[in-house]
Amino acid sequence: MSSDDSWKIGILFSTTGVTSIIEQSQLNGTLLAIDEINAAGGVRGRPIAPVSYNPDSVVSCYGEMAEKLIVEDRITALFGCYMSSSRKEVLPVVERRNALFFYPTLYEGFEYSPNVIYGGATPNQNSVPLANHLMNNFGKRIFFVGSDYIYPRESNRVMRNVLRQGGGEVLGERYYDFDADTAQFARIAQEIVDLKPDAIFSTVVGQMCIDFYRAYHAAGGDGRVCPIASLTTNEAEIAAIGAGAAVGHITAAPYFRTINSPANRKFLKAYKQKFGTVRDVTSCCEAAYCQMHMFAAALEEVGEMDTDRLHEALLGASFDAPQGHIKIDPDNNHTYLQSRIARVDERGEFVIENKVRRAIKPDPYLVYPGIHDWSFRTQKVAQTSA
């Protein structure tokens, strides 16, 4: 295939800076999907050609680079962002210029844009099952620690409400800037160990997440006794933290690398072939992979880079993802996703302990947030084959 007649798409994931560990995994998922699409003949016989910029994890750069992709590179389908603060920078740009933006990251909800396809979990798909799991298995006294930006503050607001509905209590709540040093994490870790909560809910992201887990371990915190539960600590961060400090901690996500299904084995094999390892495969990587495949299927149907027609084709579209079957909800542009809860074992691998029976409808505005709705839908999982 010649590249002259390619379909140009824009990519905004950071390969440097505080969130580069997770964003690199999202970039890899995106590039793997593009390889697969192109190897299968492209879209209507034309290859997808990515134009990729590195925003260096600097929030304002995402908006500026989105503008550059649309105005200078004349691209109207964009993929990118991890932090909600960076998505908020891109949002007005794609709305003003009527571009289509694919966001493959869990987030705090309470947003809808006709120009965004949301591929990550909303709080009803992860926070609500996680709160339920913590209160049932560990206790009702929870301490919150987060990075200081919109996602942690908003998702803690939701978590606080869900815990209170279930009779739980928030013992404390702390936020840290992106330049927080290890001494600050050592102090809060000691404070938490002294306070003895039943569990910690962490919305600390990126490099800081690694510092926090290590500080908790150094202060004598033991995940097997009082776990840190998080939505933003995935396989890549666990690998960086190390199995010794990570054991016992908990993450809720639609996807874990340890899922034992044909679709996931195929995905991991292809990933390993391209990148040499599966060490950094995360739920956000998988979401990015799925979004690119779903975009390509919509483009195949529509045959042109028309935002409105692509949007229409994407609503209700489904995909047999590595996590299981997923579908874009035509009501709100978010995605029906699987929901799993996993715990890190001694080898540093996530062992899935709980999952819902079927993909959960996204409810970004928490119209149906009742915690008791979830317990009967979950099932205990005996081993890693979830």
Q: Residue numbers of the site for ligand ACM (CB under 6 A)?
A: 82-84, 105-107, 151, 205, 232
- Closer to ligand ACM by CB, 206 or 227: give it: 206
DSSP 4-28: TT-EEEEEE--SSSTTHHHHHHHHH
Minimum distance of ligand ACM from residue 66's CB (angstroms)? 17
Chain center to CA of 108: 11
Minimum distance of ligand ACM from residue 105's CB (angstroms)? 5
Note the maximum CA span of the chain.
64
Minimum distance of ligand ACM from residue 88's CB (angstroms)? 10
Half-sphere exposure of residue 10, counting CA atoms within 13 Å on the CB side?
30
- Closer to ligand ACM by CB, 7 or 144: give it: 144
- Closer to ligand ACM by CB, 138 or 255: give it: 255
- Closer to ligand ACM by CB, 209 or 310: give it: 209
Cβ proximity of 282 and 19 under 8 Å: no
Question: Which residues, in sequence order, are CB contacts of 35 under 8 Å at separation 6+?
Answer: 274
Minimum distance of ligand ACM from residue 200's CB (angstroms)? 17
DSSP 95-158: HHTT-EEEE-S--------TTEEE-SPPGGGTHHHHHHHHHHHT-SEEEEEEESSHHHHHHHHH
- Closer to ligand ACM by CB, 42 or 152: give it: 152
Q: What are phi and psi of 162, to 5 degrees?
A: -65, -45
- Closer to ligand ACM by CB, 85 or 165: give it: 85
Minimum distance of ligand ACM from residue 83's CB (angstroms)? 4
Minimum distance of ligand ACM from residue 108's CB (angstroms)? 7
Minimum distance of ligand ACM from residue 103's CB (angstroms)? 9
Ramachandran category for residue 165: left, alpha or beta (phi over 0 → left; psi -120 to 50 → alpha)? alpha
- Closer to ligand ACM by CB, 124 or 232: give it: 232
- Closer to ligand ACM by CB, 82 or 295: give it: 82
DSSP secondary structure code for residue 58 in this structure: -
What is the distance between the alpha carbons of residues 322 and 266, in angstroms, rounded to a whole number? 8
Minimum distance of ligand ACM from residue 152's CB (angstroms)? 8
Minimum distance of ligand ACM from residue 333's CB (angstroms)? 16
DSSP 168-203: -EEEEEEEE-TT--HHHHHHHHHHHHHH--SEEEEE
- The encoded tokens of residue 216 equal 């908790």
DSSP 343-356: EE-TTS-EEEEEEE
- Closer to ligand ACM by CB, 76 or 291: give it: 291
Half-sphere exposure of residue 184, counting CA atoms within 13 Å on the CB side?
13
> Which residue has its beta carbon closest to ligand ACM?
151
Minimum distance of ligand ACM from residue 380's CB (angstroms)? 28
What is the distance between the alpha carbons of residues 195 and 125, in angstroms, rounded to a whole number? 30
- Closer to ligand ACM by CB, 94 or 298: give it: 94
